Structure 1
Amino acid sequence: MSETTTSPGTIRITADAGPPKRRRGLALGIGAALVVGLLGGATAVAAAVTGGEPRTTPAVAAGAPAPQLRLGYFANVTHAPALVGVQDGLLAKALKAAGTDSLTTQVFNAGPAAVEALNAGAIDAAYLGPNPAINSFVQSHGESLSVIAGAAAGGAQLVVRPGITDPAQLRGTVLATPQLGGTQDVALRAYLASKGLKTTPNGGGDVTVNPTDNAATLKLFQDGKIDGAWLPEPWASRLVLQAGAKVLVDEKDLWNGTGTGKPGLFPTTILVVNKAFAAQHPQTVEALLRGHVAAVDWLGRASAAEKASTINAALQKAAGAALPADAIGRALANITFTTDPLAGAYPKLLADGVTAGVTKPADLHGLFDLRALNTVLAQSAGRGRASAAGLGQD
């Protein structure tokens, strides 16, 4: 792993990985290493993710505001509430009003790495995809984290080289996902299984799935070294617009509204918090949610140009580069920003994780704690309550 400073107080954490080849060997090596982290416990490998010993927060009396909040998120358009909340100071302002004077951030490439840092105590809260949250909850027997809000729905696609027009043609191909056990990785493996195509976490099966950094995926696709990828925005749009990829599957078409009553919507990004931190500092968690709701509300009001400008400014700071206008425009058109975590979708997400071989059957009751979110929402006229769908408190 490597760390590079991208802005004051912000560390970008990425995996150092060589380019995937058209062979099983690399997938086997990457997959075997990551399976240990996913199925053997995230805390054991957290030092590798954070680049050293987890930072500690000074002791504070239980129930008092935390002096600082350490937040993780990705440099993806699907994480726009975090990008906007940090860029425009909405999160820091809400936290300061509640007595938390410091907000520090870390930028991750994928959910499993963020969960490892969360479980190790290196961060207190994180924006990430639902499947890493599920896996952590299951592995910890419900002790690691709580889902406290939704952030984004939609915005994930399987994009492939133009010659592939039917799922049957995926047999023997090499596809990429951001990280083994991540939300897009699980979605791809479950989709392939539904088409009779086998995969294994260590890279075997009918289709080779290589966990790959998103930026490397774009280059590998351009070089013809992979056949496609299941990616979140803006990376799906970048492969389409910059590398000539074609959409084989838009994930929204796989969701018929079962469990959520909202056809075409599926959770892509959620906000989670370390359970121990939340128990000790409930005011800080509620303040984080005030800033989060403000960011989501702004995304709902802003014009397309305003959203693109603010998100691009945040991406420049977090990842070192802004997006072309066509890429960010296409990406934003595919995403719905919402504080609703779409909890009713989680039984399917868990089942998909089991099918993918990266989690185990489990009871998800207790995964959600939406009480603070609903307190914040109740203070705005016309705002409905978020539902835990029987999987926690709301």
Structure 2
Amino acid sequence: MPNHPEHPPKLSTTRIVAGEKPKRKRRAVEIIAVAALVALIGAGAAVASVTANNNAAKNDAAPQPSAAATLKLGYFGNVTHAPALAGLQEGIFAKDLGATKLSTQVFNAGPSAIEALNAGAIDAAYLGPNPAINSYVKSSGASIRIIAGATSGGAQLVVKPSITSAAQLRGKVLASPQLGGTQDVALRSWLAGQGFKTTPGGGGDVTINPTDNAQTLKLFQDGKLDGAWLPEPWASRLVLQAGAKVLVNEADLWDKGQFSTTVLIVNKSYLEAHPQTVEALLKGHVDSVKWLNTHKAESAAVLNAGLKVAAGKPLAQNVIDRSLTELTFSADPLAGTFPELLAHGVAAGVTRQADIKGIFDLGPLNKALKSAGEKPVSATGLGTQ
């Protein structure tokens, strides 16, 4: 029947075929799918960003500790540095360092060795304890660590034969190897204990001229010096070759005659970057000390050969023989004496009072000592062991 104008037309219905969704529902599904895809892309981007950041962090992180390609070692041409001389001459360091190339530099005194170490010219050094203490104090612990002892004893104040008492030193001219060095500190602090004033510039009741050891011998022979506080072999050379007499044997000033003359130190950054190399150095050091203590009959000849390399010529036999009677070789740094050594530096005016806890890192040394069948040594609360 035709539609009547009064009757509205019937609304058409949408036919739904099996498996086909209504357009409205299909659009909703499409929107959800797009949203999910965006979220997935965002999550992937986030993961990629985190991964990139982690990789960047790994790239920016400090390199992992490793064996060093080279080790630059400083030492003196003195008998007090016998562990270094023997270790080099007998090839002990070269053997224990393995693939690490060893280079060396010879110094006259500790402060100059410290300057070279802080400048990166050397990585480790044999030197006296006072320059090591001074460097540690000045850098607030950032510069060096003492990793072993080497030598005890072997330092004396030798003077003209006419000087028989401390009182006669007033107005005299004395020498030490270098301002702030261990013998310089010992001399200045001892003079302070005798009531004399000295200044780093050479003024005061007694004039102290820091002088190269070889030049000290010549000046004393020429009558231009009244005496000097020196390590071996220079004390023996002045006694045997220039007619000096011993006024003070430093061993007499310490409990049981034990005081540290030479220690082995390393740049703190080098220690952190190359602990394996430092362990190898310490193995060589322990082996060198052991060699000295088990080859006494031949040690003088070996040390003289090392001194010829370091100082240009060997010592007279009586000089090296006298020197060796004054020395003890040990990997123990005698850490318990370091507070007193610091006090000496303060009294001498070359350092300031400070906390030196942390100056020793003896863990690698004790590892080497254990491997060698020897007893561990103590940091006496001044570092790790």
Tell me the TM-score range normalised by the shorter chain.
0.7 to 0.9
Q: Distance in 1 between matches of 2:376 and 2:241?
A: 41
1:274 equivalenced with 2:267 (yes/no): yes
The answer for the alignment partner of 1:391 in structure 2 is 382
1:204 equivalenced with 2:206 (yes/no): no
Pick one of 85, 88, 93 that aligns with 1:86.
88
RMSD across aligned positions (CA):
0.9
The answer for the alignment partner of 1:368 in structure 2 is 360
* Gaps in structure 1 of 5+ consecutive residues: 1-59, 257-262
Residue-by-residue CA offset, 1:109-131 (whole Å, 9 max, x unaligned): 00000000001111000000000
Q: Distance in 2 between matches of 1:115 and 1:62?
A: 26
Q: Distance in 2 between matches of 1:156 and 1:346?
A: 17
1:174 equivalenced with 2:141 (yes/no): no
Residue-by-residue CA offset, 1:66-103 (whole Å, 9 max, x unaligned): 0000000000000000011111110111001xx42x10
Q: Distance in 2 between matches of 1:61 and 1:329?
A: 48
The answer for the alignment partner of 2:290 in structure 1 is 297
Q: Distance in 2 between matches of 1:303 and 1:207?
A: 40
Q: Distance in 2 between matches of 1:87 and 1:359?
A: 35
Residue-by-residue CA offset, 1:298-355 (whole Å, 9 max, x unaligned): 0000133x11100000111111110000000000000000000000000000000000
Give TM-score, length-normalised by structure 1: 0.81
The answer for the alignment partner of 1:95 in structure 2 is 97
The answer for the alignment partner of 2:29 in structure 1 is none
* Gaps in structure 2 of 5+ consecutive residues: 1-61
State percent identity of aligned pairs. 65
Q: Distance in 1 between matches of 2:257 and 2:220?
A: 28
Larger radius of gyration: 2
**2:377 counterpart letter in structure 1:** A
Pick one of 312, 315, 328 that aligns with 1:320.
312
The answer for the alignment partner of 1:188 in structure 2 is 187
Q: Secondary structure at the match of 1:269?
A: strand
1:283 equivalenced with 2:291 (yes/no): no
**2:282 counterpart letter in structure 1:** L
**2:327 counterpart letter in structure 1:** I
The answer for the alignment partner of 2:347 in structure 1 is 355
Instruction: Spell out the pairing of 1:1-394 with structure 2 (5 A cutoff).
Output: 61-96=63-98, 99-100=99-100, 102-256=101-255, 263-304=256-297, 306-381=298-373, 383-394=374-385
Q: Distance in 1 between matches of 2:64 and 2:301?
A: 40
Q: Secondary structure at the match of 1:279?
A: helix
Q: 1:61: Cα distance to partner?
A: 4.4
Q: Distance in 2 between matches of 1:177 and 1:268?
A: 14
Residue-by-residue CA offset, 1:204-246 (whole Å, 9 max, x unaligned): 1000000000000000000000000000000000000000000
**2:162 counterpart letter in structure 1:** G
Q: Distance in 2 between matches of 1:61 and 1:297?
A: 35
- Where does structure 1 differ by over 4 angstroms across 4 or more consecutive aligned residues? none
Q: Distance in 2 between matches of 1:350 and 1:204?
A: 23
Q: Secondary structure at the match of 2:332?
A: coil
Q: Secondary structure at the match of 2:328?
A: strand
**1:218 counterpart letter in structure 2:** L
Give TM-score, length-normalised by structure 2: 0.83
Q: Distance in 2 between matches of 1:358 and 1:202?
A: 11
Q: Distance in 2 between matches of 1:161 and 1:379?
A: 48
Q: Distance in 1 between matches of 2:103 and 2:138?
A: 27
Q: 1:63: Cα distance to partner?
A: 1.1
